[in-house]
């Protein structure tokens, strides 16, 4: 049973940040403030990460939010038929390609978006983060009524990224088949294009199940990245991460 992205947005919504009273703030410098109550210090953005018991800490700190259904695998991943997608990449497989399974790993702050045609003809999986431009670009080809949508990954630093993804999916009326987000651990995900069988986290051993080979490059595409602080990471650096 699929769910509306707005349902998830509502469930994971963080309360507005409480504004500190000036009497509780110690100005250490123009780049750093400190809370006199919990002694936590800010970074250069002057946002103080108040400790759990501080009166200014009202975060819900959701962890391991799971909703929807997925098809659990009956057989292990065949590494020779698994296309591996790295950070800032997306990959596409079909029922006629050499690779029948597509997956990714190392999903901490990063998020995996996967769309699969239910007739098993096409699957696109992307590994995105806050630098990624046109996040849903590789997925627009999928029709609304015959597509399974999976969202995996993200942690406490990823609320804005996940919110953006969910808002985009809602804007184009996609329903989410399965979501496993805001986990405190590094996530892995893979799916068989033909059968729809999925593999999640401890069901995958990345170093064994996901072998990266040179010949996989023709199935992968690099995302364009946003410029941050006037610097854009070269392609060579992205591949080496």
Q: Residue 173: what pLDDT?
A: 95
Which DSSP string do the residues of the chain spell out, in sequence order?
A: --B-HHHHHHHHPPPPPPPPPGGGEEEEETTEEEETTT--B--TT------TTSTT-------SEEEE--EEPSS---GGGEEE--TTEEEEEETTSS--EEEEEEESSSEEEEEEETTSSEEEEEEE-TTBSSTTGGGTTS-STTEEEEEEE--TT-HHHHHHHHHHHHHTT--BSEEEES-SS-EEEEEETTT-EEEEGGG--HHHH----GGGGGGEEEPPB--BTTB---HHHHHH-
Q: Residue 62: what pLDDT?
A: 60
Residue 8, domain member (yes or no): no
Does the model's pTM come out above 0.85?
Answer: no
CATH code, domain carrying 159: 3.30.1330.200
Q: Could you tell me the residue range of the domain that residue 78 belongs to?
A: 62-240
Residues 80 and 196 in one domain: yes
Residues 76 and 127 in one domain: yes
Residues 113 and 85 in one domain: yes
Tens digit of each residue's pLDDT, the chain (241 residues): 689 999 898 888 866 678 899 999 999 998 899 999 999 888 776 878 788 788 887 665 566 899 999 999 999 999 999 999 999 999 999 999 999 999 999 998 899 999 999 999 999 999 999 889 999 999 999 999 999 999 999 987 788 899 999 999 999 999 999 999 988 789 999 999 999 999 999 999 999 999 999 999 999 999 988 765 444 444 333 333 3
Residues 135 and 31 in one domain: no
Residue 231, domain member (yes or no): yes
Residue 9, domain member (yes or no): no
Q: Residue 241: what pLDDT?
A: 35
Residue 3, domain member (yes or no): no
Residue 12, domain member (yes or no): no
Residue 189, domain member (yes or no): yes
């Amino acid at each position: 049973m699929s769910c509306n992205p707005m349902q998830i947005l509502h469930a994971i919504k963080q309360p507005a940040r409480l504004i500190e009273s000036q009497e509780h703030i110690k100005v250490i410098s123009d780049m750093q403030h400190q809370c006199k109550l919990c002694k936590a210090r800010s970074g250069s953005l002057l946002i103080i990460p108040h400790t759990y018991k501080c009166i200014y800490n009202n975060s819900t700190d959701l962890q391991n939010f799971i909703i929807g259904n997925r098809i659990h695998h009956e057989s292990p991943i065949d590494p020779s038929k698994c296309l591996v997608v790295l950070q800032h990449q997306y990959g596409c497989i079909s029922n006629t390609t050499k690779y029948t399974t597509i997956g990714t790993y190392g999903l901490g702050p990063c998020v995996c978006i996967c769309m699969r045609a239910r007739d098993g003809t096409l699957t696109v999986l992307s590994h995105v983060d806050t630098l990624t431009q046109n996040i849903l670009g590789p997925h627009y080809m999928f029709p609304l009524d015959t597509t399974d949508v999976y969202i995996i990954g993200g942690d406490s630093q990823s609320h804005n990224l996940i919110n953006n993804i969910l808002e985009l999916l809602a804007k184009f009326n996609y329903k989410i088949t399965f979501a496993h987000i805001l986990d405190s651990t590094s996530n892995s995900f893979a799916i068989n294009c033909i059968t729809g069988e999925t593999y999640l986290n401890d069901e995958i051993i990345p170093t064994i199940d996901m072998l990266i080979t040179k010949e996989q490059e023709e199935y992968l595409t690099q995302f364009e990245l946003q410029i941050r602080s006037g610097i854009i990471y070269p392609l060579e650096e992205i591949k080496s991460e």
